[in-house]
Amino acid sequence: MKNFTDEKTLLREIKNGNGEAFEFLFNSYYPRLRGYAARFVTDEEAVRDIIQESFLRFWEKRDLIEAVSISSLLFAMVRNACLNYLKHLQLVEQHNLEHLDKVVGQEELYYWDFNLSPEYTLLYKELQQQISLVMSDLPSRCREVFEMSRFKKMKNREIADALQISTTAVEKHIAKALARFSAHFKDKYPLDVYIAILAWLLSE
């Protein structure tokens, strides 16, 4: 297998659909991501599923990824997936996660959005306003589909049946909305904020 040690080259090859580059990415990051996810989720099978699903979404949405740290984005995606898993189990609420700030090492960089300081509270409010701004600028059907997908957590087939459109049309509306969000946040905020938003966009 070719060694894609340069991250920019690796991302470019993945965006071009290079399966070998994606396999290199998976093999390179899987061990660290598994250890990271295990800090959130104790079920080993669930951890495997979370990581594999995160890689799958990375591959499926690779066209949206522009000039970001692959490492930062993958950790953010896995973190979000773990949080969603825990919320689904109704084991924790977001405000009960203060202990995660105590994690040390490189991975602590990916806990910034659990910080409950006034500074980040203001950032959350600002981001919510910006998200609402992008949503209001979307065509009505595109906005409706995106809300059903991201906020009501409906599957593409469920959305298609509810709106009596094809799943292909649903996918196109979601892709259009994601591209609008990505373009809006890419140049407006620092890289770490953009990565967090992008990780959210790549999650269902």
CB burial class (10 A; 0-12, 13-18, 19+) of residue 67? exposed
**Chain segment 61-115, per-residue pLDDT in tens:** 887 777 677 888 888 888 888 877 877 676 544 444 444 444 444 444 444 444 4
135-184 residue pLDDT tens: 999 999 999 999 888 888 788 899 999 999 999 999 899 889 988 888 88
How far, in Å, are 32, 42, 91 from residue 106 at the CA level? 11, 21, 26
pTM: 0.62
Q: At what angle do helices 70-89 and 44-60 cross, to 10 degrees?
A: 130
